[in-house]
Chain A
Amino acid sequence: MANVKDLDQRSAVARVNSVIDSVFAGVDVLCELAATVYERAAAEGELPSAADLASIRPAVFDHLTRGGPVVAGTGVIAAPGSLADQPRWLEWWRIPRGSTEPRPLSVDLDPQHIGGYEYTSTPWFDTPRRTGHRIVLGPYVDYAGTDEYILTLSCPIRRNEQFLGVAAADVRASDLEQVMLGVLDAVGPESLLVNATGRVIASNTPQLIVGSLLPAAHRTGDEVPVGLGWVPCEGLPWHLVTG
């Protein structure tokens, strides 16, 4: 029976990877398109305008409506000073819950305001800026932006060595869980997907639900805790945990 279980675990991990890969594929497209916008402007010796950046909008809509069942919002966030006419800028669209129409995300971009969108200090902006690598974050409460409980997949936009912003996508934690429930059930009656900090991303048991932390002793996959099966999700800082 161990083989069957192995197989189920592998197919669960494969499902996680395919969902995340398809979201990143859409993000990569936006990343390249945005880099092209900057490239074109640079060829003229200029910075692009917010309107220039809006030329990527068809691809944003495409990703939003055809990027699979889990993309709740996507777009490009400009690094401060990278656009000619706006100090900070989001070309970001989302599909509000219960709707099918893409809407622009309207946020308070004044960093002086309480609840203002200080996006430059958010990990999904700051980490790709510092490391040059893409990142998967969450689930977390996105209080200044979408007001939802989400995961963010984010990718740096670079031209030569310069960081110009990020292309990213939001996934609602509940949507991700929905697409994972079937494969989690196949793995076992108490199966979890957890992130690097030991926070539950998706779960099929009421004992440990999304957003909760595994008990401290069980938070790292480095040391496999007794009685728990930990399977790494390749390419992601996540683990599949089975009771």
Chain B
Amino acid sequence: MSDGRDTGPGRHVIFAPVGEGGRVDVVARRISEAIALGLITDGEQLPSESELAGALNVSTVTLREALSSLRQQGLLETKRGRGGGSFVRAPVDASVGRLRGTLRDYGVHELREIGDHHVAIAGTAARLAAERASSEHLDRLNALIDELAAAETVGDRRRADGRFHIEIAAAAQSTRLTRQEIDLQSEIGELLWLPFGEAVRHKDVVEQHRAILAAVTGGDGELARAHAEQHVEQGIARLIQFHLQLAKR
């Protein structure tokens, strides 16, 4: 990395070796998150393919596939020839900058507080929903998961994700839990679905929602609670990670 803008500890994390067998989506995600968080900026040139593959400890084939998926998302542009390479095309969406600011301004403690609160609400709501949800609720929850699975934009994903949690609380027949869930969703929903930097992988969220719903449908309150708590904790842990990357910059 030769442009001299790559010295912050936040950036260091981006180009650290990836685990999980160095899969394409892990690499693509790592880079797209860095763009979403503003750790690499618009117009910036990425290191050469071999350099980047070396830093991430993945094969050049894997890296190329990852870069190609980022190009498809419009996050990278490749110029050929002398002075060519992969250049970052950061999304111009104004909300990204605002969300980034919000995420930076939160303290780790505040994020953890939100997480603790959300774990309490979502966990209890899931446990009670397992006792009290009618088949209509289960149908609606199922439809919301399908909606989330099919959602292409972050906005649609955030809405379907939030609605699922709100409906779980409503299925628990509790106006108070539902109100709190709505407040929590409006507090962190946008951050969890940061454009190009989704805190939790879309397909993982879908799977986690399915696991929660399966436990609710089976009437297993404790399992539903465990799944819901884990799901929420995972999202918050990622937001704390994002925050630290932004704050260290």
Contact = CB atoms under 8 A, between A and B. Distances in A.
Interface stretch (A16-24, A98-106, A138-146, A222-230): A138-146
Interface stretch (B59-67, B80-88, B178-186, B230-238): B178-186
B91 interface: no
Contact of B173 (A123, A139, A147): A139
B240 interface: no
Contact-size category for A = 10 to 19
Please report whether the interface of chain B is mostly helix, strand, loop or mixed according to DSSP. helix
Interface string B144-183: 0000000000010011001100100110011100110010
Contacts of B159: 112, 114
Given A114-B185, A114-B186, A115-B182, A199 B175 contact: no
Contacts of A211: 132, 173
Given A141-B169, A141-B178, A143-B179, A114 B163 contact: yes
A148 to B, nearest CB: 6
Nearest to A142: B175
Interface of B: 131-132, 134-136, 155, 158-159, 162-163, 166, 169-170, 173-175, 178-179, 182, 185-186, 189, 219
A114 B135 CA distance: 23
A149 B135 contact: no
7 contacts: A114-B189, A123-B136, A141-B169, A142-B175, A143-B169, A199-B132, A212-B173
A177 to B, nearest CB: 14
A213 interface: yes
Contact of A143 (B135, B155, B170, B186): B170
A197 interface: yes
B170 A140 contact: yes
A124 B5 CA distance: 58
Given A115-B182, A197-B136, A141 B173 contact: yes
A127 B35 CA distance: 46
Interface string A140-184: 111100011100000000000000000000000000000000000
Given A114-B189, A141-B169, A143-B182, A213 B135 contact: no
Q: Which of A115, A140, A199, A211 has the most CB of B within 10 A?
A: A115
Nearest to A211: B173
A49 B248 CA distance: 56
A197 B139 CA distance: 13
B163 A149 contact: no
Nearest to A195: B134
A213 B189 contact: no
A133 to B, nearest CB: 17
Contacts of B185: 114-115
B176 to A, nearest CB: 9
Contacts of A216: 219
Contact of B170 (A112, A141, A198, A213): A141
Contact of B186 (A115, A140, A197, A199): A115
Interface string A85-115: 0000000000000000000000000001011
Given A141-B174, A143-B182, A115 B132 contact: no
Given A114-B182, A114-B189, A143-B175, A212 B170 contact: no
Contact of A114 (B162, B170, B179): B162
B182 A213 contact: no
Given A114-B182, A140-B170, 19 more contacts: A112-B155, A114-B159, A114-B162, A114-B163, A114-B189, A115-B185, A115-B186, A123-B136, A141-B169, A141-B170, A143-B166, A143-B169, A143-B170, A143-B179, A148-B175, A212-B131, A212-B132, A212-B173, A216-B219
A29 B136 CA distance: 30
B173 A197 contact: no
Contacts of B174: 141
Contacts of A143: 166, 169-170, 175, 178-179, 182
Contacts of A123: 136
Nearest to B156: A112
A1 B92 CA distance: 79
Contacts of B169: 141, 143
Contacts of B136: 123, 197
A147 B134 contact: no
Contacts of A141: 169-170, 173-175, 178
